[in-house]
């Protein structure tokens, strides 16, 4: 049983929703073959007129009759048509067939007969084939860049697990040569204290507001009144903050270290300041390491209405593995290099997607 997704195209419902949402009786459903197209005329924020996708992932599949399904004729190149419908070239005529008042819970009221009267401008078949092939090559480049990024992220998670000791261990499974000493387990209170510094002297303005969840500056601030800036906590480089929102990767919230520059954070977040010189890059990846931090936060947080709350005394009592300073520097440098590779891969993907978007506008009319 298929469903249509703007990102994944025509995909198995079980895979997309993690459950079956269709009836078990499929006798009244459309049967699509590989290469068939389906129009999901359900309006959404990023697709006001719905989406049109081709079945590429499977040889065949069933689809609800709420969709409009079709197959290209012989004088239309399928790859050209696939990308034609990724562009906005088809929106003009279809938009004129639907009015705001004709929508029913997001479903555009357009019949197959009406849809097929929409006028489209196609070039000759040889030109269609060249355009279709061009976009297929571009899609392949994007897919390759996405695979590279995914692989780098997988490697990072593997190295986070291998290069830090687990709870009952004194040494990691993987180390740089020359390091043989056991890691110490230190109490967090031996290196951190509660940070109570406030912006009372108005040292920082809105442009230095830090998003704790992303550890990025928010030049526009977070909507707080100007007078409230004096109550904000000052977060300096090396300071540690707890953000209690729960999600799959961090079920008990997560702890981050400021490595971007001095700034401000909302007073609703807990913050800690180092009592001694620390290796910020190492601590950044130590705190990112969910294999270490998930059990640690399980023991030092309590569930709140909207987010987890940190129990400060319990948090500072927790022990964390710590190698020599030189090994910290090596580990921090290794993961920073890996993050730069991931960032470069993200930039490559963004560049290719921007290029594709530009060509979708220029090559279709």
Task: Say if residue 2's pLDDT is above 60.
Answer: yes
Task: Say if residue 56's pLDDT is above 60.
Answer: yes
pLDDT level of residue 46 (50, 70, 90 thresholds): confident
Q: How far apart are CA 206 and CA 217, in angstroms?
A: 10
Mean pLDDT of 181-193: 96
Q: What is the pLDDT of residue 103?
A: 47
Mean pLDDT of 65-88: 94
Q: What is the pLDDT of residue 23?
A: 59
Q: What is the pLDDT of residue 306?
A: 81
Q: What is the pLDDT of residue 102?
A: 46
Q: Which CATH class is domain 184-319?
A: alpha beta
Q: In sequence order, what are the beta bridge partners of 96?
A: none
Task: Say if residue 17's pLDDT is above 70.
Answer: no
Q: How far is CA 182 from CA 43, 175, 189, 286, 327, in A?
A: 59, 11, 21, 17, 11
CB atoms within 10 A of CB 298: 11
**Residues 257-309 pLDDT 10s:** 999 999 999 888 899 999 999 999 999 999 999 999 999 999 999 988 788 99
Instruction: Please name the residues in contact with 222: beta carbons below 8 A apart, sequence gap of 6 or more.
Output: 209, 211, 266
| 3-class SS letters over 98-125 | CCHHHCECCECCCCHHHHCCCCCCCCCH
Q: What percent of the chain has pLDDT over 90?
A: 71
**Chain region(s) in the chain for CATH 3.90.220.20:** 184-319
**Chain region(s) in the chain for CATH 1.10.287.1120:** 123-183+323-365
Q: How far apart are CA 235 and CA 271, in angstroms?
A: 8
Q: Which CATH class is domain 123-183+323-365?
A: mainly alpha
Q: How far is CA 342 from CA 155, 218, 259, 335, in A?
A: 10, 22, 18, 10
Q: What is the pLDDT of residue 226?
A: 72
Q: What is the pLDDT of residue 24?
A: 63
Q: How far apart are CA 137 and CA 159, in angstroms?
A: 33
């Amino acid at each position: 049983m298929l469903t249509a997704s703007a990102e994944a195209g025509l995909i198995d419902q079980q895979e997309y929703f993690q459950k079956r949402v269709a009836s078990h009786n499929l006798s009244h459903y459309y049967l699509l073959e590989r290469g068939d197209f389906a129009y999901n005329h359900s309006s959404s924020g990023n697709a006001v007129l719905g989406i049109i996708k081709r079945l590429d992932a499977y040889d065949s599949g069933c689809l609800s009759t709420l969709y409009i399904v079709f197959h290209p004729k012989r004088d239309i190149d399928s790859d050209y048509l696939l990308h034609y419908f990724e562009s906005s070239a088809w929106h003009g005529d279809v938009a004129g067939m639907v009015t705001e008042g004709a929508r029913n819970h997001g479903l555009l009221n357009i019949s197959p007969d009406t849809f097929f009267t929409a006028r489209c401008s196609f070039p000759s078949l040889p030109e269609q084939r060249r355009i279709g092939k061009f976009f297929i090559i571009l899609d392949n480049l994007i897919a390759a860049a996405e695979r590279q990024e995914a692989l780098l992220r997988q490697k990072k998670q593997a190295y986070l697990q291998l290069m830090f000791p687990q709870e009952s261990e004194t040494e990691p499974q993987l180390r740089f040569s020359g390091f043989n000493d056991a890691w110490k387990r230190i109490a967090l209170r031996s290196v951190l204290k509660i940070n109570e510094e406030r912006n009372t002297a108005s040292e920082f303005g809105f442009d230095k507001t830090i998003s704790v969840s992303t550890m990025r500056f928010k030049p526009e601030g977070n909507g707080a009144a100007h007078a409230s800036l004096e109550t904000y906590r000052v977060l300096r480089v090396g300071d540690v903050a707890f953000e209690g929102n729960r999600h799959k990767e961090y079920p008990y919230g997560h702890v981050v270290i400021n490595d971007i520059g001095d700034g401000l954070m909302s007073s609703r977040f807990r913050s800690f300041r180092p009592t001694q010189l620390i290796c910020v890059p190492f601590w950044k990846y130590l705190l990112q390491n969910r294999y270490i931090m998930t059990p640690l936060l399980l023991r030092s947080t309590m569930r709140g209405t909207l987010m987890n709350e940190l129990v400060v005394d319990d948090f500072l009592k927790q022990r964390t593995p710590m190698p020599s300073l030189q090994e910290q520097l090596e580990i921090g440098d290794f993961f920073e290099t890996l993050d730069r590779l991931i960032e470069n891969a993200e930039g490559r993907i963004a560049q290719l997607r921007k290029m594709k978007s530009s060509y979708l506008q220029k090559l279709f009319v």
